[in-house]
Structure 1
Amino acid sequence: MAPAIPAAMERPHFIGIGGAGMSGIAKILAQRGAKVAGSDARESETAASLRALGATVHIGHAAHHLADDTSGVVVSSAIRDDNPELARARELGIPVVHRSDALAALMDGLRAIAVAGTHGKTTTTSMLAVALTELGLDPSYAIGGDLAGPGTNARHGAGDLFVAEADESDRSFQKYVPEVALVLNVELDHHANYASLEEIYESFEAFVAKIPHGGTLVVGEHAGARELAGRVSGRPGLDILRVGESEDSSDVWIRRITPHGMTSEVTVVLDGAEHTFTVSVPGRHYAHNAAAALAAGSRAGVDPAELARALTAYTGVGRRLQLKGEAAGVQVIDSYAHHPTEMTADLEAMRAAAGTDRRLLVVFQPHLFSRTQELGTEMGRALALADESLVLDIYPAREDPIPGITSAVITEAATAAGARVTAVHDKAEVPEAIAGMARPGDLVLTMGAGDVTDLGPRILDRLAH
């Protein structure tokens, strides 16, 4: 039986319903029987999938999109105060609910596993969701990307587990009360919301503080995650599991990672028992994600030997080194990486997959002016791992331009680091540019959190003709 739907969520209207986080909550509510409606800036496959669940989806934002019986309006931090639907809701006195509060309400009464960290959240949440589903546990889940198998980012399940991606960008993850929390890494990011790394730590500490007595915190090997573990280690009733490749400093020991082209074989020692399984995406960081998922699932009561076997069923998630296709002997792969650490990890993984005989060509689109201002130099240095790169203009998302901050910050740093980079200001020119560069055997990586992902099919089409 589905948990009760909060009154404000019985007939909700989502502003920006096509977003990764918003659409997931909308899908779960629709599956639980709510009368869901919403609006988005453009038509999309996500909008179509929501309509298939019975939701009403308007394209464009207008005050009249709010139905007379709307019980609540759901917003994310990306929705501006001058949005006409938000203004209308406030005028009518309709409750306005933040996305994080809506997700927290969906978890209420279920056993939550919340996956947090500056990088790797979507992949690790997806691994857990797929493995638990494979074992017949029928979990509910809300993820920031579409699973390659089910093809969706969220689902209401009949089981008692709820796996959720916990977003730190706007501190919204502090609303959740997880039985098991997983923190993969902690780094400075989201510069519009955090002034310092210390503020980031304080935010993660507030997240961990919501774990009830007897709950578990799983942390990765990243220095920031280990620092967080040290800060909260004195709390009574909190079990802490450290995952990593160092046997001496890890409670869950990643004993071996053996790459096999676009996959890896991983051996993990957990509670004295050894478990070996295959990870279907390349790179050491994805192996770490899988080991962390194994640790978290085991502390939620799932048999680790069964869970390890089930993790092999994970076949990827949209935009996380996702193979988009092959044409003229050239493979095109999509990456969501937009922070220098993520970029380096994915580029190293693809560099290893390419070997010595194939070239790696990258189309990179910076995401956010604030992030480029703070981390643009590091982004440029990361591109030195590619053979050649095209750098697009900054994707602004929710931000207004910052004077003097352009993608030139990245191209100049990349050139100084010895990278071969070319600035491209018109995305429409990219397919032709790649066609002129690529040769059979090359790997092309479209990289960034914006609409650079749309270029993959266009590049393949141009290569094919």
Structure 2
Amino acid sequence: MTEAIVPAAELGRVHFIGIGGAGMSGIARIMLMRGMTVTGSDAKDSSVVTTLRAQGAEVEIGQRAENVTGADTVVVSSAIRETNPELAAARAAGLRIIHRSQALASLMTDRRTVAIAGTHGKTTTTSMTTVVLQACGADPSFVIGGVLTATGTNAHDGTGDVFVAEADESDGSFLLYEPAVGVITNVEADHLDHYGTWEAVRQAFVDFCSRVAERGGTVIVCADDPGSREIGEHARAEGARVLLYGQAEDADARIVGIRPGRTGAEFSLVLDGTEHGPIRLRQPGEYNAANAAAALCVAAELGFPLSDAILGVESFGGTRRRFELRGTGSGVRVYDDYAHHPTEVAAVLTAAREVVDPGGRVHVIFQPHLFSRTQNFKAEFGRALGIADDVVVLDVFPAREDPIPGVTGALIAAEVPHEDVVFLASFADAVPYVRERVRPGDVVITAGAGDVTLLGPELVAALEA
């Protein structure tokens, strides 16, 4: 993508189609904070819409052609189809139509941008980086694809010169950004509905590195993931400044002494020959130690004291829908996670094993996301879900896709390598089924990028009844 970026101040009255979405709402919030006139529409009312209205946005529920009347610029995401009545009306009226990523880039034009990319871990790493820089006194602007637990917000227009952004690779639009620092947490085949092949996915991240290097920036790359490591080494060979982090012996920022625990991971970080630590996180899982290391590397690269950065990462209270405790009922803890790729599912279930009581069992309610992803990765999902003792697979959450004949959650359930698995075609059956199978000391994970998140509070309430 090479579209010219129009500075935010030149966009005029901005209308968002689907303003309540995680990415769109954050951009709208910053525009409102900068005094811009913002309107929008969404399919349903929500707490996000209520907050945007309180900040001054005019938001309509339901999408109709007349909603774009008076707009100068219309913002869309890749989920908005050409048949959408507002998009069709905007095209007919000759309005400026820009992608969500272009709108975000327009807000970054006068800031040092930190763009955090990768197949997994973007939201948590972006959140950690934001909190770390806040602890360093930077007051960064930020847009995150999730909500910080401590503040209840996903975006902020800071007074500092740093802008931290989650760089979504799903449709290639992250190549619009011009980062001073780029982070790649990992790279695997995903979003094949857009890219088609692994080679195309890889090339997008290669191009991301090039965009950072063209501006004399630094790419911070996980050395433990084969995909990101290979891309980082390629970028280094091409002359880019690359900082490798992870547990690998040759990492420039090396994680050592990692100790999983029930209350969070603990590790030390060796950077520039000095060991810093122990660093105590409030989140479990080795993957969170890696996310924290990336955030600390960003702070160091921007010139902030590592001692302040460590205090920030230790204070990090988490992000909603990222191993988020939704409650406890009858001695059973219920967590919710956005995991929707096999690697993410495996990571969160491994972390669940670290926090479950001795003798307790790990249960998972998994909702596949997208028919194409279910079809492409059914075997990998089955193996990942097998880490849990007891598995419920729901039907596919379609999101932006039309159904593929024969593709249901049953394909994944059939791949789980043990007998304690069931496919439940009815969403309503999940809570009663799990309630009868859990016992005190167990842990339940609701996992997926769809509406499976609604089941956590429902299960807690059922357990307490």
Correspondence for 1:139: 140
Deviations 1:15-44 (A, max 9, x none): 011111111101111111111111111111
Deviations 1:336-369 (A, max 9, x none): 1110001001100101211532111111000000
Within 5 Å, which residues of 2 pair with 1:49-88?
Answer: 49-68=51-70, 70-88=71-89
What displacement does 1:119 show? 0.3
Number of positions where the alignment pairs a residue of Structure 1 with one of Structure 2: 457
Correspondence for 2:225: 222
Deviations 1:109-163 (A, max 9, x none): 1001110000000000000111111232110001000000111111110100000
Within 5 Å, which residues of 2 pair with 1:176-215?
Answer: 176-211=177-212, 212-215=214-217
Unaligned runs of 5+ residues in structure 1 are none
Deviations 1:222-256 (A, max 9, x none): 010111012211233x2111111122x21111012
Stretch moving more, 302-311 or 100-109: 302-311
Deviations 1:65-84 (A, max 9, x none): 2232x111000011000000
Correspondence for 1:457: 457
What displacement does 1:6 show? 3.1
Q: Decide whether aligned partners of structure 1 residues 246 and 5 sit closer, same or farther in structure 2, where only a CA change above 3 A counts.
A: closer
Where 2:315 maps in the other structure, the secondary structure is coil
In the alignment, the residues of structure 2 paired with residue 314 and residue 254 of structure 1 have an alpha-carbon distance, to the nearest angstrom, of 18
What displacement does 1:259 show? 2.1
Deviations 1:154-186 (A, max 9, x none): 111010000000011100100001001000111
Amino acid aligned to 1:420: D
TM-score normalised according to structure 1 size: 0.96
Correspondence for 1:119: 120
Correspondence for 1:101: 102
What displacement does 1:426 show? 1.6
Q: Decide whether aligned partners of structure 1 residues 463 and 355 sit closer, same or farther in structure 2, where only a CA change above 3 A counts.
A: closer
Aligned residues of 1:328 and 1:440 also touching (Cα < 8 A): yes
In the alignment, the residues of structure 2 paired with residue 187 and residue 154 of structure 1 have an alpha-carbon distance, to the nearest angstrom, of 27
Aligned residues of 2:178 and 2:215 also touching (Cα < 8 A): no
Correspondence for 1:327: 329
In the alignment, the residues of structure 2 paired with residue 280 and residue 86 of structure 1 have an alpha-carbon distance, to the nearest angstrom, of 43
Correspondence for 1:91: 92
Correspondence for 1:348: 350
Correspondence for 1:408: 410
Percent of aligned positions that are identical: 47
Where 2:270 maps in the other structure, the secondary structure is strand
In the alignment, the residues of structure 2 paired with residue 43 and residue 88 of structure 1 have an alpha-carbon distance, to the nearest angstrom, of 22
Where 2:194 maps in the other structure, the secondary structure is coil
Within 5 Å, which residues of 2 pair with 1:282-431?
Answer: 282-414=284-416, 417-431=417-431
Unaligned runs of 5+ residues in structure 2 are 1-5
Aligned residues of 1:330 and 1:442 also touching (Cα < 8 A): yes
Aligned residues of 1:12 and 1:36 also touching (Cα < 8 A): yes
Within 5 Å, which residues of 2 pair with 1:13-28?
Answer: 13-28=15-30
What displacement does 1:419 show? 4.6
In the alignment, the residues of structure 2 paired with residue 158 and residue 213 of structure 1 have an alpha-carbon distance, to the nearest angstrom, of 23
Aligned residues of 1:110 and 1:160 also touching (Cα < 8 A): yes
Aligned residues of 2:76 and 2:100 also touching (Cα < 8 A): yes
Amino acid aligned to 1:13: H
In the alignment, the residues of structure 1 paired with residue 290 and residue 89 of structure 2 have an alpha-carbon distance, to the nearest angstrom, of 46
Deviations 1:308-360 (A, max 9, x none): 12111111001100001111111110011110001001100101211532111
What displacement does 1:383 show? 1.2
Aligned residues of 1:387 and 1:419 also touching (Cα < 8 A): no
Amino acid aligned to 2:96: P
What displacement does 1:4 show? 6.5
Where 2:115 maps in the other structure, the secondary structure is strand
Aligned residues of 1:22 and 1:99 also touching (Cα < 8 A): yes
Amino acid aligned to 2:187: V
In the alignment, the residues of structure 1 paired with residue 267 and residue 205 of structure 2 have an alpha-carbon distance, to the nearest angstrom, of 28
Correspondence for 1:29: 31
What displacement does 1:5 show? 2.9
